[in-house]
Amino acid sequence: MCEPEWFRDSIAECGTPIQRRDGEKTLTGLRWGKGSGRTAVLVHGGAAHAHWWDHIAPRLAARAFDRVVAIDLSGHGDSDWRESYSTATWANELRESVNEWGGDRPIVIAHSLGGTVACLAAGREDPGWGGLIVVDSPIGRPFQSRSVEERRSAAPRRAYASVSEAVASFRLLPAQTLPAEFVVEHIVRYGLSHRSDGWVWKFDPKVLYRPDRLNTVPWAEVQSNVSGRVAFIHGPKSRVADAAVVAMARAALGADSVVSSPGHHHLILEDAPAFCRVVEDVVEDW
């Protein structure tokens, strides 16, 4: 499938690489826009990376924000790996990254695991954010339970002979229909690194089987600490933010703060223009 013009234009606006130190570790990200006004900070899901937002961030920077920053949590993308991982560690990372890169009262937009991490970061005390948009995270109840052994066996360890082979083998977790081939090729290409025996995923397999994987944070804790607005965007076909999760979000946040964008759980990969329009509408009066 040929890349549409909007996709080519978006990925042509490459984000500027940024990094900061977190103790002995280096954490990385990307930045779009040059203004000093309102900033959006984008947080990826599990085993993903900052380049999952490459086709979204330039549009948000042009239409809704002065600057957009996408971060790599530790163990993901170009950030360093750790000996072990927890949502608490990532929440601390996120708070510090937003403090350093987000400017005054930024809007945090966080998908899947990123949404859980953002809610934990906000649930402890007011993080000083201007708002939080959680995208298809199962807030209010645990993730679907899988044993540590099952998650460990699912962690990819093989090396691929080529990028094309990795693209052909790519699957989303949880399983769903794959997005357009040009989207898959882009996120896979930036999700790989090359070593002597071939191409391997950049993310640390341990991020898939950390012991606290099932922990989530109630909406009430998030609302009590975020002085700005909170919203929830879900995919109508999602197996993660299903009817029960959406109902809990509506009960906590109000119906006007819970909206849908076409697709499944990984809706940010499926219809980026539609997702951007939803975000633009949400933040219009924030």
pLDDT in tens, 176-219: 999 999 999 999 999 999 999 999 999 999 998 776 655 677 89
The rounded distance, in Å, linking the Cα atoms of 114 and 118 is 6
Residue 125: pLDDT band (50, 70, 90) is confident
Residue 155: predicted pLDDT: 54
Once rounded to an integer, what is the mean pLDDT over residues 152-174?
83
Q: Which residues contact 213 (CB under 8 A, 6 or more apart)?
A: 143, 151
Residue 150: predicted pLDDT: 47
Which overall architecture, per CATH, does domain 5-141+216-283 show?
A: 3-Layer(aba) Sandwich (3.40)
Q: Give yes or no for residue 157 having a pLDDT over 80.
A: no
Q: Give yes or no for residue 285 having a pLDDT over 50.
A: yes
For the whole model, what pTM was predicted?
A: 0.95
The ranges assigned to domains in the chain are 5-141+216-283
How is the chain classified by DSSP, letter by letter?
-PPPHHHHHHHHSPPEEEEEEETTEEEEEEEE---SS-EEEEE--TT--GGGGTTTHHHHHHHT-SEEEEE--TTSTTSPP-SS--HHHHHHHHHHHHHHHS-SSPEEEEETHHHHHHHHHHHHS----SEEEEES--TTSPPPP--HHHHHHHS--PPBSSHHHHHHH---SS------HHHHHHHHHHTEEEETTEEEESS-GGGGS-TTTT----HHHHHHH-SSEEEEEE-TT-SSS-HHHHHHHHHHH-GGGEEE-SSSTTHHHH-HHHHHHHHHHHHTT-
Q: Give yes or no for residue 121 having a pLDDT over 90.
A: yes
Q: Express as a percent the part of the chain with pLDDT over 70.
A: 92
